[in-house]
Amino acid sequence: FIFTALLGFKKSAKPFKDYYDGWFKALKNTFLPQLRHAMSSSSTSSPILLASHVEVIHRHLLKFYEALDLAASNDVSQLLYPDWKNPFEKPFLWLGDLHPYLFINLLRSFITQSEIDPEILDPNHQNWDMVMAWKSPSKRLTNRVDQIECGLRLMVPALSARARDAQAAFVEKLAIEWGKCEGRKEEMKGVIAVSAAAEMEELVGVFVDANRLRRSVISDILSVTDVNQAAVFLEALAQFLVGFRNRELLSQFDKCSLEL
């Protein structure tokens, strides 16, 4: 990354892709199966056991965003436009990771499902406790969902505007100083680092704030759901992430190429 070098940001010795690969494997191969096992046997096991697996998945998600924040201070460029995300994932990204609306829309899908006759649901998918988890969501939960959505309608456009303004300022400063230096590398390195550092720091700040918003939406959802609802929600979210790397889906996606 030429701009990373010019601006003096440290390139991580371990690419974030490597961290994400390890994080993803733990989610897919360990934590998601454990949660599903606890969900399938929740009627005969302690609710405390199910709650512990819910907490493990939640903490795993939070650790990912904490790692993103830490990596951003070294090199935000590889995070805003992550090259480890495949073409199937990228339409769902906002400022480097999943759009927070995805979390709330996923939750809404379960609330809507509560109006469906349970008899048409597949009873073999989950035990009865899991099937009935979203049958009668509390008023407190639905009110909180409305509040979260209201907050997103304010915060998402504001963060997008900050990112757009910071990028525009960065490009403007870079273009001006590039012209002054007439392409001389040694002069560019010092001048651009000074003139564009503030704009890069703003991009880091926007990225960190976007992650804070993602974390808060997930935590807010879990704060108003019971353990069964939380388990169903987190299982669906984890499966959504795992599904992005489904080889069959990726193969079908690759075949949907546009002809010029």
With respect to residue 100, please indicate whether it lies within any of the assigned structural domains: yes
For 20-49, what is the mean pLDDT? Answer: 87
Mean pLDDT score of the chain, rounded to an integer?
Answer: 83
Q: Is residue 2 part of a domain?
A: no
Is 167 inside any structural domain?
A: yes
Q: What's residue 246's pLDDT?
A: 84
- Does residue 6 lie within any of the structural domains? no
Residue 257 has pLDDT above 80, yes or no: no
pTM attached to this predicted model = 0.83
Burial (CB count <10 Å: 0-12, 13-18, 19+), residue 251: exposed
For residue 4, tell me if it sits in a domain. no
For residues 180-203, average pLDDT: 68
Question: Is 43 part of any domain?
Answer: yes
Model pLDDT, residue 221: 96
How many separate domains does the chain show? 1
The answer to the question of residue 114 being in a domain is yes
Contacts by residues 56-59 (CB-CB < 8 Å, ≥ 24 positions apart)? 56/31, 57/27, 57/31, 57/32, 57/234, 57/238, 58/218, 58/219, 58/222, 58/230, 58/234
Q: How confident is the model at residue 196 (pLDDT cuts 50, 70, 90)?
A: low
Confidence of residue 185 (pLDDT cuts 50, 70, 90): low
Instruction: Kindly report each contact of residues 249-253 with a partner whose C-beta sits within 8 Å and lies 24 or more positions away, as own/partner.
Output: 249/88, 250/86, 250/88, 253/87, 253/88
Q: How far apart are CA 46 and CA 7, in angstroms?
A: 54
Q: What is the pLDDT of residue 173?
A: 75
Structural domain span for residue 26: 11-257
Within a domain: 164: yes
